[in-house]
Chains A and B, each alone.
Chain A
Amino acid sequence: MRETKLYQIGTFAVGNRLLDPEDRSAQASPDRANSITSGHRACQGCGEALGARYVLDAAMRAADGDVVVTNSTGCLEVFSTPYPESSWQIPWVHSLFGNGPAVAAGMAAGLRASGRTSTRVVGQAGDGGTVDIGFGCLSGMFERNDDVLFVCYDNQGYMNTGVQRSAATPPAARTANTGVIGDEPGNAFGQGKFVPLIAMAHEIPYVATATVADLHDLEDKVTRAMGMHGARYLHVLVPCPLGWAAAPAETIRLARLAVESGLFPVFEAEHGEVTAVTSIRGKVPVDDYLRLQGRYAHLFGDPGRPDLVARLQALADRNVVRFGLLDSDDGTQNASLGS
């Protein structure tokens, strides 16, 4: 293969063609599975479409192409399979909105009982399909330690049905049913759940968070997860230009700023203990992240709501301390959670 000179270095660059071949991303390879191919109906700049390609191509590479996938109802399912077309080049089944983890568990059981033990199962759903309506099935799949990698593409809302709130929608965000109305406009503070921590409470072999901004980190985590058996959970932040009212070209920047502000902690955990945290390289104020998104516009107009911005900043700061997201002076991390 001819070496292409592209000035892409560092973990945030897609492809990394300047790296040694074995260190390059799956996306850099012309032989990648291209699990979800072009022609689907996602919006421009859809983080979920990107995330699904990254995750599944990495999973396909890790499992030598021996992967079967289930997909819960949501944007990803809808934009990829308008009959009679399909963007999926891998075996793929959609059943319902709330049952993805159980379908995946059944697939794993069926494969094992049929002696097809090399075939690996990946389940995928949006945040609604994972943390809300699919949560009972997810928890069951976790506690039974079924041999499934379940991936949540978290775009922080029910995008497919027109951008309503989910339990992963952040406070203050405007959605179609958390309008900019009243004293606390947008989604309420003090609600919602961060499912990676709940996944850890099941003490499953592997839990990780990632974003579409850091391809290498995301692929590494998929590869690590595919190298293990049992229940594994990957929670990927995937910005949604439509739901977040952001420019399609800002998807990667938004995912990066979510991390760099401390609002979205990126870490790994094994058997219930945090094993690695991606530290923030240059911490940014939450404003930098929020101002790019129309769903937070009410926080910045005139008069704006600096008090609510401050509350969001406090949440980010809490994450920084809780997960040890900043390297301390002596180079060690200062986490209050995990080891």
Chain B
Amino acid sequence: MREQLEGSQAVARTVARCRPRVVAAYPISPQTHIVERLSDLVRSGDLAPCEYLMVESEFGAMSACIGASAVGARTYTATASQGLLFMAEALFNVSGLGLPVVMTVANRAIGAPINIWNDHSDAMSQRDCGWVQLFAASNQEAVDLHVQAFVLAERLSSPVMVCMDGFVLTHAVEAIDVPDQAEVDAFVPPFVPRQMLDPTDPVTIGAMVGPEAFTEVKYLMHRRQQQALAEIPSIAADFAARFGRTSGGVVHPYRTDDADTVVVALGSALGSVCRVVDDLRAEGTSVGALGITCFRPWPEAEVRAALAGARHVVVLERAFSPGAGGIVGRDVRTSIGSRTPVVDAVVGLGGRPVSRATVRRVLEDVSAGRLTPDDLHFPDLRRDLIDSEPATRGGPRA
């Protein structure tokens, strides 16, 4: 049923309907509304049986998820930003152990300077931690991705992160269709763990592995991630068949077929990008958009196919690697080869809005040759602030 709901409330209700047995979470903006609501649902008995652990830190949250998942319980947590970093050691452990934990990341910048607003630095910083990373373009997709994430995680025995833009999605109230309990039950089968701690069948989980077999463990992890690239579209297709709407998958191409220039984006910015595409198309400019839903594993073949006809590619980066360049752009370049120039444009850091005007300006600058593929660009940079920095403070001058 479609209802006016805050994104966080919708996600919390959806997660509850996926029937996690253990929720362990530590509050951090902009994730708080999700975990507060889940606490209510557990306390009221609407989500039962479920244990809600109010842990002492995000490291504790993810570690409790490890324990719960190891005894065979479906397990969920949510975090953002500093909290995700505080979990970092445990994140690698979860994927290494192959535990199907599902986590929402309410994407937020990382300090210093401390900043609670949206960008993708948090998720990107954990790019290589072995989790599937799905990015929601809208609150409806965030809801739907959570349902799909539990299926995916448990099918692969691999953890899944559902990334949704902090505030822009988590705190936005809009009409959202939260699948009802019967629909979710029909879609998410009961959790059958691949292995678990059970006194009737003792196993050792998390042994020390030396040079003789470590590569093989990591290789299998890689293969499992590649398998996810096939599972994700198939789960999305099942979802579409049952729920009648398209959500998930690995990429969302939008009017790319005959597009001269394609803008690549992740998360909520995709909406603005598609609107600009429509506007520019109406004005006779040949542009398209490519939304990346699945950032890890990286859908190389799908990206290559979607960008096959493009003569220019622009990547909107919501995080970057200081001193090196764009993060998504590098993956795009590897996928399509040097034939097509790729412009990396860092926009919307620390909550600076990615407006339609911004996207439009970026595209105009690209077509005017002002943004070139050989540099990392910051199209929404405030030159006035940079220039007003007193020279006496030292450091680089821009």
Contacts and interface: CB of A to CB of B under 8 A. Distances in A.
Interface of A: 65-68, 70, 77-78, 81-84, 86, 88-96, 98-99, 102-116, 119, 136-137, 139-140, 143-144, 146
Contacts of B21: 109-110, 113-114
Given A91-B198, A95-B63, A106-B67, A115 B204 contact: no
B199 A91 contact: yes
The 9 closest A-B pairs by CB, nearest first: A106-B67, A140-B56, A110-B73, A106-B64, A110-B68, A99-B63, A102-B63, A94-B206, A109-B51
A67 B60 contact: no
Interface stretch (B89-97, B117-125, B175-183): B89-97
A106 B65 contact: yes
B53 A144 contact: yes
Given A67-B199, A68-B199, A106 B204 contact: no
A109 B64 contact: yes
B64 A105 contact: yes
Which of B21, B53, B69 lies at the interface centre, i.e. has the most chain A CB atoms within 10 A of its CB? Answer: B53
B197 A68 contact: yes
B210 interface: yes
A83 B205 contact: no
B72 interface: yes
Contacts of B66: 93, 95, 99, 103, 106
B55 interface: yes
Contacts of A94: 205-208
A67 B198 CA distance: 8
A140 B207 contact: no
Contacts of A86: 204, 207
A86 B71 CA distance: 19
Given A102-B55, A114-B71, A109 B205 contact: no
Given A77-B208, A98-B59, A146-B53, 16 more contacts: A81-B204, A82-B207, A90-B199, A91-B201, A91-B202, A94-B208, A95-B63, A98-B89, A99-B59, A102-B61, A105-B60, A106-B65, A107-B68, A115-B49, A137-B56, A137-B57
Contact of B197 (A91, A136, A139): A91
B22 interface: yes
A110 B60 CA distance: 15
18 contacts: A67-B199, A82-B207, A91-B197, A95-B67, A95-B90, A96-B89, A103-B70, A106-B24, A106-B53, A106-B64, A106-B75, A109-B24, A109-B73, A110-B73, A112-B51, A115-B49, A136-B56, A144-B53
A204 to B, nearest CB: 15
Interface string B90-111: 1001000100000000000000
Contacts of A143: 56
A107 B51 contact: no
Given A103-B63, A107-B68, A95 B51 contact: no
Contacts of B60: 99, 102, 105, 136-137, 140
Contact of B199 (A66, A82, A103): A66
A137 B59 contact: yes
Contacts of A107: 67-68, 70-71, 197
A15 B59 CA distance: 42
A103 B53 CA distance: 12
A67 to B, nearest CB: 6
Nearest to A67: B199
B240 interface: no
B205 A106 contact: no
A81 B63 contact: no
Nearest to A60: B199
A143 B73 CA distance: 23
B298 to A, nearest CB: 27
Nearest to A77: B208
A92 B21 CA distance: 21
B71 A68 contact: yes
Contact of B72 (A66, A99, A114): A114
Contacts of B72: 110, 114
Given A70-B67, A83-B210, A99-B59, A114 B73 contact: yes
A240 B239 CA distance: 58
Contacts of A90: 199, 202
A327 B65 CA distance: 48
Nearest to B89: A96
A113 B97 CA distance: 22
Which of A67, A70, A86, A113 lies at the interface centre, i.e. has the most chain B CB atoms within 10 A of its CB? Answer: A113
Contacts of A146: 53
A105 B70 CA distance: 12
A94 B212 CA distance: 19
A77 B209 CA distance: 12
Interface in B13-28: 21-22, 24
Interface string B31-61: 0000000000000000001110111110111
Which of B24, B65, B67 lies at the interface centre, i.e. has the most chain A CB atoms within 10 A of its CB? Answer: B67
Given A82-B210, A140-B60, A88 B53 contact: no
Nearest to B214: A83
Which of A70, A99, A102, A107 lies at the interface centre, i.e. has the most chain B CB atoms within 10 A of its CB? Answer: A102
B205 A99 contact: no
A98 B64 CA distance: 12
B114 interface: no
Given A95-B66, A102-B63, A106-B67, A119 B206 contact: no
Contacts of B53: 105-106, 109, 144, 146
Contacts of A81: 204, 206-208
B241 interface: no
Contacts of A99: 59-60, 63, 66, 89-90
B57 A140 contact: yes
